[in-house]
């Protein structure tokens, strides 16, 4: 008797033969493949989270605040300080990671008979989001150096007239941030059809000095949504808290599709405690940026071609055999990311020690 197989189930046709999203989760000394903050959560932040979660535990017999009002206020205050934009709690929405936030957006504005567009190489979940809500996916194009120009992005939106466009800035896996003129041009093109424009700023806190956030463009732009996460800069990947800022009517639309009480009391408590310690956590962001810039400089010295990065990772090329280089690093206990682009890999900027181990191992590989 043969073992039961997934293919024995009456799956939706578009799911047959598909692979789930996932990155290797291997136990190695230097895990630099999924852009986590590799610094441990500071002990005072751990204590604050534990205190807030314990208080929440005393009322777990009751449903959580469906509107997560305290959390939304704290997120609005944080984003206003971080970006210079003036935001209110009514403009904020949150979910269990940016994945759920994106799912809410697409449930509200995409769906059957509609389309979603992004610009590969970019975050590989975007096509999966589209598939999950029965939308068609449109793969836009980039320049050979993986950058995007205002005119080209606007032209592609006008050509395809998608219902949702996702711009990733800083882009994953290339690390490049968009000039605001690209976002403005994309928004003008979106107004010519029934298009919502999302700017995914998951790595926004790591952008280079002088690089503004798309949050500064929200005023007067009803169809613009800017998404963020606490997984990266706040070292809260295990807490699963993503969020967005948009016009208040956008958050009203998302209420139509969210599941009841979708943010647990524990999640809300942990996120609020982390936001109360934002300044402390951002100190680690600055340390990570130092290591990121160090990686760019040293890879250049090695004769490789790192791309300028506004994120907490570096995308680099110039490798004759990227898979072989990846395996060499793994054999040395360093896990980085294969991105499916010939000659290229991506590495998360970790602690100073982790960065040194990565650079030494890679140099040894190139010297062999």
- CA nearest 366: which of 299, 316, 314? 299
- The 10 Å Cβ neighbour count of residue 210 is 5
H helices present in 203-277, as ranges: 248-255, 265-276
What is residue 1's predicted lDDT score, i.e. its pLDDT?
59
178: which 2 tokens? 């968009």
User: Do residues 269 and 57 make contact, with C-beta atoms less than 8 angstroms apart?
Assistant: no
Which residue, among 319, 361, 359, has the nearest Cα to 339 in the 3D structure? 319
Query: Tell me: domain 44-276, CATH 3.40.640.10, correct?
Result: yes
Q: Which CATH number fits domain 6-42+280-367: 3.90.1150.10, 3.30.70.260, 3.40.640.10, 3.40.50.150?
A: 3.90.1150.10
- Locate 352 and state its tokens: 């100073």
* Cβ(94)–Cβ(254) below 8 Å: no
Rounded CA separation 311/118 (Å):
19
In which residue ranges of the chain is CATH 3.40.640.10 found? 44-276
pLDDT at res. 283: 93
105 φ/ψ angles, rounded to the nearest 5 degrees: -60, -45
Residue count of the chain, please give it: 368
Contacts (Cβ under 8 Å, ≥6 apart) of 46: none
Tokens found for residue 217:
């463009």
Instruction: Collect the ranges in the chain with pLDDT lower than 70.
Output: 1, 22
Cβ-based neighbours of 175, under 8 Å, separated by 6 or more: 203, 307, 308, 309, 310, 311, 313, 314, 315
> How far apart are alpha carbons 157 and 193 in whole angstroms?
9
* N- to C-terminal Cα separation, the chain: 51
Q: What is the C-alpha to C-alpha distance for residues 167 and 179, in angstroms, rounded to an integer? A: 11
Helix then strand count (H, E) for the chain reads 11, 13
Would you call the peptide bond into 208 cis, given omega within 30 degrees of 0 as the criterion? no
What is the torsional sign of CA 201, 218, 91, 80? positive
What are the DSSP calls for 280-307, one per residue? HHHHHHHHHHHHHHHHHHHHHHTT-EEP
SS3 175: coil
For the chain, residues classed under CATH 3.90.1150.10 are: 6-42+280-367
């Amino acid at each position: 008797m043969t073992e039961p197989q997934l293919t024995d189930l009456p799956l939706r046709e578009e799911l047959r033969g598909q692979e789930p999203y996932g990155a290797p989760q291997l136990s190695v000394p230097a895990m630099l493949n999924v852009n986590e903050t590799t610094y441990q959560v500071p002990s005072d932040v751990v204590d604050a989270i534990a205190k807030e979660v314990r208080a929440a535990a005393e009322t777990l017999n009751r449903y959580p605040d469906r509107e997560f009002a305290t959390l939304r206020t704290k997120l609005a205050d944080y984003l206003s300080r971080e970006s210079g934009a003036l935001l209110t709690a009514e403009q904020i929405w949150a979910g269990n990671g940016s994945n759920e936030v994106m799912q809410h957006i697409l449930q509200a504005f995409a769906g059957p008979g509609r389309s979603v567009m992004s610009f590969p190489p970019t975050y590989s979940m975007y096509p999966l989001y589209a598939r999950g809500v029965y939308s068609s996916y449109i793969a836009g194009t980039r320049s050979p150096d993986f950058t995007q120009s205002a005119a080209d992005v606007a032209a592609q939106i006008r050509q395809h007239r998608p219902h949702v466009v996702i711009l990733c800035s800083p882009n994953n896996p290339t690390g490049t941030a968009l000039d605001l003129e690209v976002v403005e041009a994309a928004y003008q093109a979106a107004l010519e059809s029934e298009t919502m424009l999302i700017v995914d700023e998951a790595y926004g806190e790591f952008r280079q000095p002088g690089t503004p956030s798309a949050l500064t463009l929200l005023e007067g732009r009803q169809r613009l949504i800017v998404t963020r996460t606490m997984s990266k800069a706040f070292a809260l990947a295990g807490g699963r808290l993503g969020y967005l800022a948009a016009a208040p009517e956008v958050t009203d639309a998302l209420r139509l599709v969210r599941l009841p009480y979708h943010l647990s009391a524990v999640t809300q408590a942990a996120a609020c405690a982390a936001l109360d310690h934002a300044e402390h956590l951002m100190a680690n962001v600055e340390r990570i940026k130092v290591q990121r810039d160090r990686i760019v400089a040293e890879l250049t010295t090695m004769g490789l071609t790192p791309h300028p990065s506004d994120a907490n990772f570096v995308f680099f090329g110039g490798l004759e055999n990227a898979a072989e280089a990846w395996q060499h690093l793994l054999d040395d206990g360093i896990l980085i990311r294969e991105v499916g682009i010939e000659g290229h890999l991506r590495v998360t900027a970790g602690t100073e020690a982790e960065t040194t181990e990565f650079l030494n191992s890679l140099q040894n590989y190139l010297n062999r």
